[in-house]
Chains A and B, each alone.
Chain A
Amino acid sequence: MDELQAIGGGLHPIDHVIIGVYMIGVLFIGSYFAKYIHSSGDFFLAGRSLPFWAIGMSIVVSDIGAIDLIAGAGGAYDRGLAQANFDWIGSVPALLIAAFIFVPYYWRAGVYTLPEFLGRRYNASTRWVNALVLLVFMFATVSILLWTSAVFLNNVLHWNPLTAIWVTAVIVGCYAISGGLAAVVMTDVLQLVIMFVGTGALLALGMWEVGGWDGMVEKVLAQPGESEEYFRLLVEHKEGTEYPWPGMVFSLGIIMSTAYFVGNQAVMQRALGARSEWDAKAGMLTAGLFKMAIPVLVFLPGMAARGIFPDLESPDGAIPTLIDRLMPPGLKGLMFAAFFAALMSSVDSYLNSCVTIFTGDIYRPLHKRFTGNEMSEKLGLTLGRSLTAFVLVAAALYAPRFADSAALYDVIQTLLSLFQGPTLAILMLGIFWRGATAWGGFAGLVLGVTLTSLLNILGDAVFISDDPYLFVSFWSFWASLGVTMAVSLVTTKKTTEELEGLVYGSVVTRSIKSE
C-alpha cells in the first residue's frame, strides 16, 4: 500500500472531515446496540434477532477486506477477468449449499460453532484441534488486518503505524466489546453501503476515462503480450498459469468455497443469529446477490487502470493511482472511508468469531469439567467482553511482526487452505455418513492438515503454479475423505442413539416429516 502515500498528501480538508464523520458514525451506530446486550446469547448471537438483509450484507462486507480492494484490483490489473471467479463461481454454489443444507442443519441441531459439532459428532480431540486451528487463523487474520490498517493510515494520513494500530483497535473495540454481534453486523451494513458508494464512484470515473468496455478492451489488447485471455473468466490449464480453469471450477467452485462458507465461524455465526430459519437461509442468498457486484466494483476498476496506466510499477498500485488521478476532493475522502470500512468490518467479524470459539469451545468445556456446572449467561457475557478486549490488545501487539511480510493476502489464503479441505471432508462425512467414527474424524483432520502443509511446501515442485493453493485444497479434501473413511471402517462406530440429532437424517429430514 505504499502507492497510497502519494495520494495522502493530496487530501483536501473536506476529505479529512468525511473520514472523521465516518469514524464517529461507526462508533455511534456500534455503541447504540450496547443497550440490548444482557446475556451471552445477546452478545454472541445478537439475541437471534438479525434480519436476512443485514446477514447478507454483513457476510459480504466481512469477506471483502481492504486487502481484497487493493490486492484484488491489483490481481485484476495483472491477470485480468479470471480474478472475478473468487467472488462469482467461488461464492454462489457454495452459498446455496450453505443455505439449504448446512444452515438448517446447524439451526435445528442447536450447534453454535463448527468445532462444537465436530466434538459432538466425533470426539473432544477433534473439537480441540479444529478450535485451535481456527483460533490461530482468526487471531493471525485480526493481526494482519490491524497491520494493514497501520500501513493504510500511515500512507494516507501520515500517522505513526503503532498509533494507527491502536486507533483502529480502540474504534473496533468500543463497539465490538459493548454491542457484540448485533453491533458488528449493523456497522457492517453501514460499511457495505459506504464501500459500494465509494467503489461505485471509482468504477464510473475509471470506465469513463478508459472509454467504456470497448475502449478498455482496445487499450489493453494494444499492449505487448496481452491477448483475449485477459477478458476471459476461464483460463487454460498450462504451466505458469495462476488460475487454471480446473482449479477454479473444481477446487474453488466446489471445495474451497463450500469449506469457506460452511466452516467459517464469521459467516455461520451471522446465520445462527437470524430471527428465523427462513431469515438465515435468505441471508445466505442475499449475500450471493451482493457478491455479484464485488468484481464489478473492485476488479473492473483494476482492469480499467490497466488500460489507462499500463506501466505501473506494481499491480497493487492500480486502485490508488485511479484515486489519485481521477477522484475529486470529497470523493477521495469517501473512498478512504470505504477502505477503512472494509478493514474494520473484517477486523470486527474475525474478532467476534475468535472470542465465540474460545468461549464456547475452549473455556465452556473446561468450566464444566472443573466446576461440574454449565457456564452462566452472566459469566458468558463478562467473559465475551473481556476476551474481546484481550484478543484485540494481543493482536495489536503482534501486528507489527507482519511489517516484513509483503504478501499478506496470500498468507491468509494459505492459512485458509491449510484446513479448508480436511475440515470440509470430516464435516460432510460426519453429517451424511453414519459410519464415520471418532478416530476416523480425528485422523482425517490431523493427516489432512499435515498433508496440506506438505503440499504447500512442495508448491511448484509438483504443481503447475508457484502458489498452488487451489490444487492443495482439492487434494487435501480427497485425502482427508479417504483417511477418515479408511480409519472409520476399522474403528468402533457410534450407536444409533448416540447419533440421534447429529446426522442429517435425524436432524433435518425427520423435522420436516414431523411438521
Chain B
Amino acid sequence: MESQENKIKSLRRSIIDMIKVRKGGHLGPALSLVEILYVLYEYILNFNPKNPSWKKRDRLIFSKGHGCLALYAILAEKKFIKKSDLKTFCEPNSILGGHPEKNKIPGVEASTGSLGHGLPIGVGMSLAAKLNKEKHKIFVILGDGEMNEGSNWEALMTASKHKLENLTIIIDRNKLQAYGKTEDILSIEPLKSKLESFGSEVKSTDGHDINKLKKILKKTPFKKGRISALICNTTKGKGLNFAENKGEWHHKSNLSEQEIDKMYNFLK
C-alpha cells in the first residue's frame, strides 16, 4: 500500500503536472494546502464522486480559489475528475481554469477566485442545513491574506448569531500574501482572539501534520453551538525548498523546462 508520504508527494507532483502545462500558476498557495486537503478528502468529508450533488454530502467551499491546483490534484485523486484533465489546465476547452468554477468541475461547490466570497456562501449553506435539520457539515477553506476582506467578518458575525455549529472554517496561515508578509501588509493578528471574539471556537495546528489535522478535524464542532475555526500554520511553497516561504513563488509565469524539472526532482 502506498505510504502517506508518497501520496502527499504524488499530489504535489500532480500540481507540477498542471504548472507544466501553463508554464506557471499559483504554486506557493497550492503547496501549503496539500496536507489539509488530503486529510479532509481521505478522512473527514462524506462524498460520492459518482454523484457529486448527493444531498447528504459534506460541503467544502474552497474560498481561497487561487490555491485551486491543490484542489484539482485531490479531485483527480478521488475520481471527481480524470487525471488527464490535469494536463489540460487553463487550455481553452479545459474544465480546469486558474480559479475553480462550480458549473464546470464536479465536486466544486462554489465558483471562487475573488476573495471574501466563500464564507458568506458557506454561512448560507450552513443555515439551510440547520433549517432543514440536515446532518451534513460545511467546511470553508480561507487564505490568511483573505482574512483582510471585511465580508469574512460580516459572515462570522452572522454565523455566530445563528449558532452554526455545522460550519468549520480552515485558515491556511502561511503568513505570506502576494506582496509580502501578511503582518507587514495588513496584520491579521491576534487572529485567534479576533476569531474568538467573533464567536468562533478556535484551535490551531501544524497544517502539514496529517495526524494532528485528522485528530482535530474529526471532532467538529469544537464546542456545541459555536462555529469551529482551525488555524493551520503552514509553509507557502511547502515541499520545494527553493520556493518555501518565498513571496515570489506566490504566482509564477514563463517557467523554464529546467525549473520544472527541478521541481519534479524534489518530489521524487
**B and A form one assembly:** no
